[in-house]
């Protein structure tokens, strides 16, 4: 179980995350939604150890991981498919995937995981030898997801994976995320595409200006009048 | 005339190989850390003295001791990065310039203390005779240096292209945050890349040791040359640096034949200025971001 306890994160003097608490049970899928600049990415960066919080804690399986370095957090199985993909564009698709299993434990299973990723994302196998930067936006997003899977994650965190994708591709991509969840991986999905994200999730959190404005069962949130008005335009 | 031009082309190409390897180091370090290493010339000199030390103390030729030189220089580079570069990795570039320039002064003075300012040289019996092809003659140490430079560059190529560490180095140089999120320790990769860059300088130095005189300040001439070549090849583009190194070697040699030795340096800097004016991204003109 991953828990975030009363987290505060600043950029300089600007308070971006202001007392966020949340928890993700093993095997669960949660969606974190919120508008531009709400602080979603900042929260994820803090979970991954890229950014240190002012106060608060991040606990994974009973261990305080708040001050661990990013590589230690990845080694624990908490892995991110980052906003904007952050691929290595001049390297081939396969090299990108392989770097997903850079750390020791994942490297041992590299061959098998790669086979599994190619099975799940067959388009990538066809493009294996092409530079990742030469692929279309949708395909690049698939590479980023595949790269995250290569780390053998226990929790896979997606930061706005649907951004810039056509509706058709968005559906395909959400379907892949659902498969990843069904395979037993815990999933945290950050999205602005509120409806899609909540439909798939078990539970949801709404982040507004650095604090949790709403939380609950995803199906309840989808029915919530306030949320409908501000995020779904209904 | 045709003979002397061919001769100077050959000489230039052979020396260009050594420049290429040294500049490859500058470009690699810049590519990964966005730092221009102004201690590179001094580190070439350190490589010369490492080779000289083993020659003078143990009677081992620089070619035989090359693996040890590589190891020593790699560790030196790794240590320098950890201790001095890493703390200023995000500092403004003028501070970084001061640091690497300062490092260069420290290294030179250290060599002065240890080895005095007296010129030294390595003469290898049997290597001083040139190989003759009709009217052309090829200097043996230069030919061997070129061969070993090709091997060393190939080694760097394989390391970067075929190993996980190499991939992590490339990944870090283009996408630091993405690399961090894969569990790559960027600080460690920086130190390894600096170590490899310094090892390139060291190999260049060791191979130059039997070719020219050795003194603690002799690297200064190479410093600017390496920088010019790295920029010419496109800073961060290590294969660009290799091509640019060969070109600069040939240009220097031909210019020295046509205009006289003291002019050849001038021609190189003239090229440098033209490059900066018209193609600041270097020969292969990747756009800067
Ligand atoms: N590196 C930074 N330095 C300073 N401020 C930053 C930095 N990154 C983000 N911010 C600020 O923090 C706030 C939250 O940004 P964040 O990227 O976490 O939002 P987000 O919810 O992910 O938004 P989006 O949906 O657009 O990705 C914004 O006001 C942003 O301007
Ligand atoms: Mg964001």
Place of tokens 């979970």: A47
pLDDT digits over B143-156, tens only? 999 999 999 999 99
Nearest CA to ligand 1 atom 31: A37
Nearest Cα to Cα of residue A33 among A190, A229, A220, A215: A190
pLDDT digits over B134-144, tens only? 889 999 999 99
Nearest Cα to Cα of residue B71 among B205, B165, B202, B210: B202
Nearest Cα to Cα of residue A188 among A75, A11, A47: A47
pLDDT digits over A99-136, tens only? 999 999 999 999 999 999 999 999 999 999 999 999 99
Choose one of A9, A18, A42, A164 to mutate for the ligand 1 pocket test, by most ligand atoms within 8 angstroms of C-beta. A42
Paired residues of A31 in beta bridges: A189, A204
Residue B48: band (very low, low, confident or very high) from pLDDT cuts 50, 70, 90: very high
| Residues near B253 by beta carbon (within 8 Å), at least 6 away in sequence | B8, B9, B11, B12, B13, B15, B16, B264
Query: Which ligand has its closest atom nearest to the C-alpha of B177?
Result: 1
pLDDT at A229: 84
Alpha helices by DSSP H, B59-185: 66-80, 93-115, 140-162, 164-174, 176-181
Rounded to 5 degrees, φ, ψ at A78 are -100, 110
Cα angle value B23/B25/B27 (rounded, 5°): 70
Rounded to 10 degrees, the C-alpha dihedral B218/B221/B222/B228 comes to 170
pLDDT digits over A44-64, tens only? 999 999 999 999 999 999 999
The SS3 call for residue A233 is: coil
Residues less than 5 Å from ion ligand 2, measured at CB: A 40-41, 83
CA pair distance B241, B232, nearest whole angstrom: 7
Query: Which ligand has its closest atom nearest to the C-alpha of A16?
Result: 1
Query: Which ligand has its closest atom nearest to the C-alpha of A191?
Result: 1
Mean pLDDT of A188-207: 94
Answer yes or no: is pLDDT of B286 > 80.
Answer: no
Backbone angle region of A157, left / alpha / beta, with phi > 0 → left and psi within -120 to 50 → alpha: beta
Q: A126 to chain B, minimum CA–CA distance in Å?
A: 21
Ligand 1 binding site (Cβ under 6 Å of any ligand atom):
A 11, 16, 34, 36-42, 83, 160, 192
Q: What percent of chain A has pLDDT over 90?
A: 93
Answer yes or no: is pLDDT of A30 > 90.
Answer: yes
Place of tokens 């210019």: B255
On chain B, the residues whose CB falls within 8 A of the CB of A146 are: none
CB B123 within 8 A of CB B61: no
Nearest CA to ligand 1 atom 29: A37
Mean pLDDT of A21-39: 96
Atom index in ligand 1 nearest the CA of residue A45 equals 18
CB A168 within 8 A of CB A176: no
Nearest CA to ligand 1 atom 3: A11
| Residues near A44 by beta carbon (within 8 Å), at least 6 away in sequence | A80, A82, A83, A157, A159, A190
pLDDT at A136: 94
Answer yes or no: is pLDDT of B16 > 60.
Answer: yes
List the domain range (segments joined by +) for residue B180: 13-116+137-219
Q: What percent of chain B has pLDDT over 90?
A: 80
Assess if residue B203 is contained within a domain.
yes
Residue A234: band (very low, low, confident or very high) from pLDDT cuts 50, 70, 90: low
Residue B285: band (very low, low, confident or very high) from pLDDT cuts 50, 70, 90: low
Give residue ranges of A with CB < 8 Å to any B CB.
48, 50, 69-71, 74-75, 79-80, 82, 85-91, 95, 98-100, 102-103, 107, 147, 151
Closest Cβ opposite residue A102 in set B175, B177, B183: B183
Are A102 and B168 within 8 A, CB to CB?
Answer: yes
For chain B, how big is the Rg over CA atoms in Å? 19
Distance of CA A145 to the CA centre of its chain: 9
Closest Cβ opposite residue B174 in set A71, A88, A98: A88
CA pair distance A38, A213, nearest whole angstrom: 11
Answer yes or no: is pLDDT of B268 > 60.
Answer: yes
pTM here is 0.92
Instruction: Kindly report the number of other CB atoms within 10 A of residue A198's CB atom.
Output: 26
On chain A, the residues whose CB falls within 8 A of the CB of B178 are: 82, 85-88
Rounded to 5 degrees, φ, ψ at A177 are -65, -40
| Residues near A161 by beta carbon (within 8 Å), at least 6 away in sequence | A81, A141, A144, A145, A173, A177, A189, A191
Mean pLDDT of B103-124: 95
pLDDT digits over B155-214, tens only? 999 999 999 999 999 999 999 999 999 999 999 999 999 999 999 999 999 999 999 999
On chain B, the residues whose CB falls within 8 A of the CB of A42 are: none
On chain A, the residues whose CB falls within 8 A of the CB of B185 are: 69, 71
Q: A178 to chain B, minimum CA–CA distance in Å?
A: 22
Interface of B with A in 153-192 (CB under 8 A): 164, 167-168, 170-171, 174-175, 177-185
Atom index in ligand 1 nearest the CA of residue A43 equals 18
Nearest CA to ligand 1 atom 6: A11
Atom index in ligand 1 nearest the CA of residue A83 equals 27
Closest Cβ opposite residue A82 in set B174, B181, B185: B181
Question: What's the total number of domains in chain B?
Answer: 1
Ligand 1 mean position, distance from CA B113 (Å): 53
Query: Is it true that domain A2-232 has CATH number 3.30.70.20?
Result: no
Residue B160 tokens read as 């970067």
Q: Which residue of B has its CA nearest to A95?
A: B167
Assess if residue B17 is contained within a domain.
yes
Cα dihedral sign, A41-A42-A44-A48: positive
On chain A, the residues whose CB falls within 8 A of the CB of B174 are: 88-90
pLDDT digits over A153-187, tens only? 999 999 999 998 999 999 999 999 999 999 999 99
The SS3 call for residue A172 is: helix
CA pair distance B286, B240, nearest whole angstrom: 10
Q: Which residue of B has its CA nearest to A84?
A: B178
Mean pLDDT of B243-250: 96
Q: Which residue of B has its CA nearest to A104?
A: B183
Q: Calculate the average pLDDT of chain B.
A: 93
Assess if residue B214 is contained within a domain.
yes
Which DSSP symbol is given to A185?
Answer: -
Rounded to 5 degrees, φ, ψ at A92 are -70, 165
CB B207 within 8 A of CB B18: yes
Are A98 and B182 within 8 A, CB to CB?
Answer: no
| Residues near B215 by beta carbon (within 8 Å), at least 6 away in sequence | B45, B117, B118, B119, B120
Assess if residue B149 is contained within a domain.
yes
From the number of C-beta atoms within 10 Å of its C-beta (0-12, 13-18, 19+), residue B214 rates as buried
Answer yes or no: is pLDDT of B289 > 70.
Answer: no
Interface with A, mutate which of B181, B185, B192 (most A CBs under 10 A): B181
Answer yes or no: is pLDDT of A21 > 80.
Answer: yes
pLDDT at B288: 45
């Amino acid at each position: 179980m991953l828990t975030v306890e009363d987290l505060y994160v600043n950029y300089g003097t600007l308070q971006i995350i202001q007392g966020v608490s949340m928890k993700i049970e093993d095997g669960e899928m949660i969606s974190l939604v919120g508008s531009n600049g709400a602080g979603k990415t900042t929260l994820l960066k803090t979970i991954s150890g890229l950014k240190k919080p002012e106060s608060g804690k991040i606990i994974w399986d009973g261990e305080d991981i708040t001050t661990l370095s990013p590589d230690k957090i990845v080694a624990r199985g908490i892995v991110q498919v980052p906003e904007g993909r952050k691929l290595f564009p001049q390297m081939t698709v396969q090299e990108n995937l392989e770097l997903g299993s850079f750390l020791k434990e994942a490297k041992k299973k590299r061959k098998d995981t790669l086979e599994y990723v190619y099975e799940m994302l067959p388009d990538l196998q066809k493009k294996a030898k092409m530079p990742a930067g030469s692929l279309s936006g949708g395909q690049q997003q698939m590479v980023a997801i595949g790269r995250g899977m290569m780390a053998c994650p226990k929790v896979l965190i997606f930061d706005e994976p649907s951004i810039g994708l056509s509706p058709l591709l968005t559906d395909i991509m959400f379907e892949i995320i659902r498969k990843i969840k069904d395979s037993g991986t815990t999933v945290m999905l950050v999205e602005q595409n509120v409806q899609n994200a909540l439909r798939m999730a078990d539970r949801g959190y709404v982040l507004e200006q650095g604090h949790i404005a709403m939380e609950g069962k995803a199906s309840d949130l989808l029915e919530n009048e306030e949320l409908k008005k501000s995020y779904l335009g209904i | 005339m045709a003979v002397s031009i061919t001769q100077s082309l050959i000489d230039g190409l052979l020396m260009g190989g050594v420049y290429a390897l040294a500049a490859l180091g500058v470009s690699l370090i810049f590519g990964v850390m966005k730092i221009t290493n102004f201690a590179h010339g001094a580190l070439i000199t350190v490589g010369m003295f490492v080779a000289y030390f083993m020659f003078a103390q143990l009677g081992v030729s620089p070619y035989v001791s090359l693996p040890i030189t590589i190891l020593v220089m790699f560790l030196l580079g790794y240590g320098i990065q950890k201790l001095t570069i890493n703390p200023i990795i995000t500092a403004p570039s003028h501070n970084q310039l001061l640091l690497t320039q300062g490092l260069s002064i420290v290294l030179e003075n250290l060599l002065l203390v240890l080895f005095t300012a007296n010129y030294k040289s390595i003469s290898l019996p049997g290597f001083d005779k040139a190989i003759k092809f009709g009217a052309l003659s090829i200097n043996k140490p230069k030919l061997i240096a070129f061969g070993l430079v090709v091997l060393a560059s190939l080694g760097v190529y394989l390391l970067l292209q075929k190993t996980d560490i190499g991939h992590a180095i490339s990944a870090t140089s283009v996408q630091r945050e993405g690399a961090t999120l894969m569990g790559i320790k960027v600080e460690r990769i920086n130190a390894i890349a600096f170590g490899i860059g310094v090892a390139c300088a060291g190999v260049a130095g060791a191979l130059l040791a039997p070719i020219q005189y050795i003194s603690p300040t002799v690297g200064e001439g190479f410093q600017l040359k390496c920088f010019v070549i790295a920029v010419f090849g496109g800073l961060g583009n290590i294969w660009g640096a290799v091509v640019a190194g060969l070109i600069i070697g040939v240009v220097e040699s031909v210019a020295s034949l046509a205009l006289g030795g003291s002019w050849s340096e001038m021609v190189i800097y003239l090229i440098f200025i033209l490059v900066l004016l018209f193609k600041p991204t270097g020969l292969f003109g990747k756009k800067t971001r």
